[in-house]
């Protein structure tokens, strides 16, 4: 495997971990868990489309996290959880 391909595989593996692991990534990306492991291990090439789908999934997670932060902030502002 070339250095560039290894870098992409490592970055993809990191993204998989951010998404919550292989099972969660499989659900978010709509691909088989075995395929994800093969991409990470360099057994299958990672396409530009897979990288785009991964970036979109991470952006969706960012939006979900931002909404959760807002909900928590609103609850704290309302005094929920005090005393």
pLDDT in tens, 20-70: 999 999 999 999 999 999 999 999 999 999 999 999 999 999 999 999 999
Q: What is the total count of domains within the chain?
A: 1
Rg of the chain over Cα atoms, rounded to whole angstroms, equals 17
| CATH (domain of 34) | 1.10.260
Give the domain extent around 30: 3-77
42, 5 Cβ separation under 8 angstroms = yes
Considering the domain boundaries, does residue 29 fall inside one? yes
36, 22 Cβ separation under 8 angstroms = yes
pLDDT of residue 75: 95
**Model-level pTM?**
0.85
Tokens, residue 67? 């909404």
- Residues 3-27: tens digit of each pLDDT: 887 899 999 999 999 999 999 999 9
């Amino acid at each position: 495997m070339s250095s560039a391909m290894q870098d992409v595989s490592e970055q993809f593996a990191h993204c998989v971990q951010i998404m919550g692991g292989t099972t969660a990534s499989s659900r978010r990306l709509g691909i088989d868990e075995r395929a994800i492991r093969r991409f990470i291990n360099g057994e299958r090439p990672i396409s530009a489309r897979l990288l785009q789908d991964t970036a979109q999934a991470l952006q969706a997670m960012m939006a979900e996290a931002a909404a959760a932060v807002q909900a928590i902030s609103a609850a704290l502002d309302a005094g929920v959880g005090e005393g």
